[in-house]
Amino acid sequence: MIPEKITSIDKLINITSKDMGRVNDLIIQRTLSDTEIIPKISQYLISSGGKRLRPMLTISASQMCECKNEHHISLAASVEFMHTATLLHDDVVDDSSMRRGKISARMLWGNEASVLVGDYLLGEAFKMMVDAKSLESLEVLSSAASIIAEGEVMQLVYSNKINISEEQYFKIINNKTAKLFSAASEVGAIISDSSTDFRNSLRDYGQYLGIAFQLSDDALDYSSTNDALGKDIGDDFYEGKITFPVIAAYRKSSAIEKKVWEELHNKVDKDHDDFNTVLELLESKNAINITLDEAKKYGQKAIDALQVFPKSDIRDALIEGAHFSYSRKS
């Protein structure tokens, strides 16, 4: 069932605000370039909102592990650059017209510029990883970059394949979404010279948080509004992405209903009537609530992963972040 209490990440924002201010300053500094279009596109997307949750995970993990150096700042900025680069690339792959409630960069500057600026940001991300002088952190984040790309390719391969298994779906979202959450959390422990137990716990926290976040995102795409979501609802359907609500509904469908699902997803030019039919099918199988229940399960796993740490304000903030991952409305 849908969670009764809607939480926020306000506590996490407040507790990381000082260091995140430094991260934001570094982000602006590293987007500067004599090639005018690079700072224009970079700062357009970076300044357009977004929760900055991934770099906050690096900062909060380093705080919880009592980091004694300054390298967590450059690692957090590199995490945000990796995320921003994937958004620029994703919007091109998906032909997206909206991002974070604004016109997407590709609609203003074109696909070529969006892809190339995304590549530039990835390059800057790796330079900042090197600045942190931690081979282990570089290994974790570079591996994450490769795995994220693999996840995006896998999602493309399974586009419109309505009979995708849950196992295949979870492999995709583990790669394309949860991996960066996991890596962002883990490098906060690594740069703090923390214990293996703390490092593994934060890695697991990030992974489960990322899965919960993606499941919630899947549900919102069929149950939110354009204004709340900051992009067009139904994008997953129109782009042929088979997400958890569809998998859950298809699994419970009759043979006749499965045929309808297959016809809808095989259709080249999907329209608003098709989307309304999908919404009716999802509602008839309680698929949105099933998805949110699954998200809540992974949110609880994230909370459980933190139990190795002593009680503190930062741990409470991360726990609140886990609740937010499955109860959010945008």
Task: Classify residue 5: in a domain, yes or no.
Answer: no
Whether the pLDDT of residue 236 is over 50: the answer is: yes
List pLDDT tens digits, range 82-97. Answer: 999 999 999 999 888 8
CA distance 291 to 187: 30
pLDDT at 312 over 50: yes
* Total residue count of the chain as it appears in this document: 330
**Residue 4, domain member (yes or no):** no
Residue 28: count of CB within 10 angstroms of its CB: 14
Tell which residue, 233, 191, 211, 166, has the closest CA to residue 70.
191
pTM for the predicted model, two decimal places: 0.94
In 3D, which of 256, 244, 251, 131 has the Cα closest to residue 187? 131
Whole-number pLDDT of residue 230: 60
- Helix, strand, coil fractions of the chain, as percent rounded to 5: 75, 0, 25
HEC profile for 112-150? HHHHHHHHHHHHHHHHHHHHCCCHHHHHHHHHHHHHHHH
Residue 51: its pLDDT value, please?
85
Its domain, for residue 245, covers: 10-327
Q: Classify residue 154: in a domain, yes or no.
A: yes
pLDDT of residue 259: 96
Structural domain includes residue 2: no
What is the pLDDT averaged over residues 210-235? Answer: 84
Q: What is the mean pLDDT of residues 24-53?
A: 92
Residue 6 has pLDDT above 50, yes or no: no
pLDDT surpassing 70 at residue 174: yes
User: Residue 107 is part of a domain; what is its CATH number?
Assistant: 1.10.600.10
Q: How far is CA 299 from the centre of its chain?
A: 14
- Checking if the pLDDT of 229 tops 70, the result is no
Q: How confident is the model over 244-269, as a mean pLDDT?
A: 95
Band the pLDDT of 228: cuts 50, 70, 90: low
pLDDT of residue 226: 60
Q: Is residue 119 part of a domain?
A: yes
Distance CA 239, CA 269 (A): 10
Q: How many domains does the chain have?
A: 1
Average pLDDT, the chain: 93
299 lies in some domain: yes
The residue-averaged pLDDT of 14-37 equals 96
Calpha distance 304→121 (Å, rounded): 34
Would the pLDDT of 4 be above 50?
Answer: no
pLDDT of residue 46: 84
